[in-house]
Chain A
């Protein structure tokens, strides 16, 4: 049997979902644990893309295009968010000369 034969077999749905869940959890961990504001921001992007992966997976599975359209929406919003978010980050850095989330906690008691 061709040792590369498995490449022609479709990858089962569960694997995609597991990968998506793993990426999402990594995103959460990054968001909760990282101090650097840019890293936190990237973690959010990671979570969004984890969700995108599951959207695409289901779209492919059911042969429906709705999931892919949703992905475009999410990517669009993420792009807008990236623009605004990075602008805010730059403004914060200018004002406080730091990007550590622990030091830009004006809401804290």
Chain B
């Protein structure tokens, strides 16, 4: 069976090249055709592979494809361009190419009036190229190519409106914060090389399987380094700060890169290297704590944001926290399950928000929306599906995956109970802020009557409808079947069965929590409008703290950015660069100039001075030859004696 994995990334890359080089001279319809065909063809290859795997060809997995041209070959170390297809990468590929293709379609409608249409689509195809490389990578170095590449695509797309300073700044912020995470990933790779002598995931896994005694120690360090990388890419504490700012990019980009696919790369990477994390309870605990803390922390910020996209951004951070929480209790298949359903409903929410923004003529402030239910019925209904799905209400997709995570945390016992409780509170907050957004956008009366919203074109509504269907049905496959399917890739641990009774009780608690969140939102934003504002006035300090995102950006600025800038400017800029390096250069140049100014006097242009120097030189040679210490001295004396003798 030959799957032609190499086609999956290379087709979008071809699209990127075509549109990137020729796009500015091509008509719009051709740009769209190229941009849409590339991911569609990739999706076709993936679907063909998926149908073959689901049809029973699982024995051939993991299926590895290596480029015949090697890459790095030094001593016993051989690293090639290798792609691997297994259950994990297959699920990820389906999400990336499937959701990616839908968002490409949506973009045709959303970006139709924008300047730089071709540029946008070439970047989007470039992103898909790197993302599929990341997912397909059979070793950490190839994954790193994709990892860096999606960072680049993300930077380019966040700063798509590059004439806007805030967008350009947000792009830089995302890139720089990601560098910190990449540093962790790099150190992790070096440690892997030093300890295992290979970067191929399957070989590392095999070595670990052969040595069951290897626990903790350097494995903990490696796992924590990789987790730092994952925290950067997946916007976890302490590196989550770039994601809310990344909302400066076009909304479909927020949906594709900053909600559905790229930011989940960290979760994917942790699942891919799960054998390392499994050997280190410390690292797992750290992952779980970071995940849970991020989940609840971001959810609280999301409660009070006014920008529709920022609410969704904090919601994304919070949901990614859930996924890491699942990884932290070694429930990798639950994490990937949530990754998948989250990709559906969060892409849907972002695209629906984009549709709202499009209809409102660029307005993103929730305070100026309202009453859009009748004006934009299809957007309203699809977004409702997304809201209910993320709130975790049965039988929507979010319920199944979130429930699987909470259940996995609960059965862990001990610290797992705490994690479960944090997750439950986060579910309550999630439900509240999503219904708050829903009420403020669609219900009540319009708060800006001067705007006349209109429903979006079908280019945009089509993907919304498909994603809405997926948000409803995406979870029906059930965690048991899903984790059984993923087991060869990520281990069986998540599939362990508790009592069915406990499962039902936990599910009921989770749904009740979600409904409670809805009820609170209903009370604040439908029944007693204004009560929320009163609450904010009663507790101005708390409200201000949350509204300003706990001043984390300001704290980072004071603790890291400003000292760093000061060191760069004064120590490195003035002392090292201008002082030492510049001084040395000036010293060399100055010496030459000064010496030249003196020696210049010799080159007077006066012929007789040259002659004088010549004569002086000849005289000096003569004196030297006739000097007492020279071999000619006796002859000189004899000559002088003869002259004197006469």
Contacts and interface: CB of A to CB of B under 8 A. Distances in A.
A32 B605 contact: no
B600 A109 contact: yes
A14 B608 contact: no
A48 to B, nearest CB: 15
Given A12-B646, A31-B611, A108 B606 contact: yes
B630 to A, nearest CB: 18
Contacts of A105: 605-607
A108 B606 CA distance: 6
Contacts, number: 32
Given A28-B615, A109-B600, A101 B643 contact: no
B612 interface: yes
B604 interface: yes
Contacts of B643: 14-15, 18
A4 interface: no
Contact of B608 (A18, A101, A106): A101
Contact of B603 (A14, A15, A109): A109
Interface in B594-608: 600, 603-608
B603 A32 contact: no
A12 B639 CA distance: 11
B164 interface: no
Contacts of A14: 639, 642-643, 646
- Interface band, chain B: 10 to 19
Contacts of A83: none
Contacts of B615: 28, 32
B604 A32 contact: no
A107 interface: yes
Interface in A1-56: 12, 14-15, 18, 28, 31-32
Contacts of A109: 600, 603-605
B98 to A, nearest CB: 79
Given A28-B615, A31-B611, A108 B646 contact: no
A91 to B, nearest CB: 17
Nearest to A21: B622
Interface in B626-646: 639, 642-643, 646
27 contacts: A12-B642, A12-B646, A14-B639, A14-B642, A14-B643, A15-B643, A15-B646, A28-B615, A31-B608, A31-B611, A32-B608, A32-B611, A32-B612, A32-B615, A101-B607, A101-B608, A105-B605, A105-B606, A106-B605, A107-B606, A107-B607, A108-B604, A108-B605, A108-B606, A109-B600, A109-B603, A109-B604
Interface of A: 12, 14-15, 18, 28, 31-32, 101, 105-109
Given A14-B639, A107-B607, A108-B605, 12 more contacts: A12-B642, A14-B643, A15-B643, A15-B646, A32-B612, A101-B608, A105-B605, A105-B606, A108-B604, A108-B606, A109-B604, A109-B605
